[in-house]
Structure 1
Amino acid sequence: MRKTIALAATLAFALSAAGASFAAAPCRDAKGKFIKCPAAAPAKPVKCKDAKGKFAKCGTPGAKPIA
């Protein structure tokens, strides 16, 4: 039982350490130096059309998102 708990704790620590290194990776260059993080692109608004093909609010019944 103690081996299982120790193994689980070690695995959890390893995964959290790996996750932290991946989170910091985008703000470093190839040499490992800190750089300014690139700005995230703004999300495009979703537009919807109704059954007749006219633009409608996306929450209305029968409205479907367009690509």
Structure 2
Amino acid sequence: MLHKIVIAVALATLAGSPAFSAPCRDAKGKFVKCPEKSAPAPKRCKDAKGKFAKCGAPGAKPA
């Protein structure tokens, strides 16, 4: 009876562990390379006329 409890606890523990590596597995459960985190989008600024300008230019505001 005790060995059944031990087996049940072990299976429950193993069932919870794939959640940690889920992002690095495909739909079939095979390990795959994790996707790279994308770089943040570059900031764009516009001048007073609404045209794109360098963010350091005078009068440029973030768009």
Structure 1 or 2: more helix by fraction? 1
TM-score range, shorter chain: 0.3 to 0.5
TM-score by length of 2: 0.42
TM-score by length of 1: 0.41
Higher Cα Rg, which structure: 2
